[in-house]
Amino acid sequence: DTEVTQTPKHLVMGMTNKKSLKCEQHMGHRAMYWYKQKAKKPPELMFVYSYEKLSINESVPSRFSPECPNSSLLNLHLHALQPEDSALYLCASSRPDGNTEAFFGQGTRLTVV
Amino acid sequence: KNQVEQSPQSLIILEGKNCTLQCNYTVSPFSNLRWYKQDTGRGPVSLTIMTFSENTKSNGRYTATLDADTKQSSLHITASQLSDSASYICVVTLNTGFQKLVFGTGTRLLVSP
């Protein structure tokens, strides 16, 4: 199983809503990542978890709150988002060392209205 | 500054033809270089991954080359198919002990019948 599963595939939320994005993998990977991708742009790293601990926060606004409840799951909690936060949110996982494959999920298309 | 530049930005070719995409990078410390294919609105899918010591890597009709001295890579697509229409992203991994990916801006390929 080389799959990273993200749910939901699409999400529309208002600026006062609270929602969560979910990511799951069963490859035994101990590094998991959240990326944000705007149209026609490369993915931008948001957060890295290594061994279930937050290793990198790329100065992401606090309205995005990551959580890694166990080695297979990664969540991204959303609150009070802005329309400019609308994007494709990608989850990825890998072994923690640098020379191995990183697998991406299919993404969640988020629209903030 | 760590950068990955790709050319051309976009490319249209006829079905059945070959094409070559270019990638130049200034990333240090270098761990490996990857090529990903990304369909619009979907997550990236890995095509090849090459470490410092590898010059070429093939995956079906895709062949990637790496010249670590000149910091250049190419992705050659043979006998293109309509399904090859996508963005192709060159990604360099920093050797930081875990995977920090530096993404290129991508080449948008359209294969025309």
Mean pLDDT to the nearest integer, A86-95 = 94
Q: What share of chain A has pLDDT > 70, as a percent?
A: 96
Q: Check B43 against A4: CB less than 8 A apart.
A: yes
From B41, B93, B108, residue closest to A98, measured CB to CB: B93
Judge whether residue A1 has pLDDT over 70. Answer: no
From B32, B96, B103, residue closest to A42, measured CB to CB: B103
The span from the CA of B109 to the CA of B86, in Å, is: 5
Q: Measure the CA angle with vertex A21, ends A19 and A26; round to 5°.
A: 150
A78 HSE (CA, 13 A, CB side) = 23
Q: Which residue has the tokens 């490319």?
A: B11
> Tell me, what's the pLDDT at B52?
84
pLDDT band at B112 (very low <50, low <70, confident <90, very high): very high
Q: Write out pLDDT tens, residues B2-45.
A: 889 999 999 999 999 999 999 999 988 888 899 999 998 899 99
- The alpha-carbon gap from A40 to the nearest alpha carbon of chain B, in Å, equals 8
Q: Write out pLDDT tens, residues A44-89.
A: 999 999 999 999 898 999 999 999 999 999 999 999 999 999 999 9
**Residues B103, B94: contact at Cβ < 8 Å?**
no
pLDDT band at A2 (very low <50, low <70, confident <90, very high): low
Chain B residues whose beta carbon lies within 8 Å of the beta carbon of residue A96: 97-99
Which DSSP symbol is given to A88? E
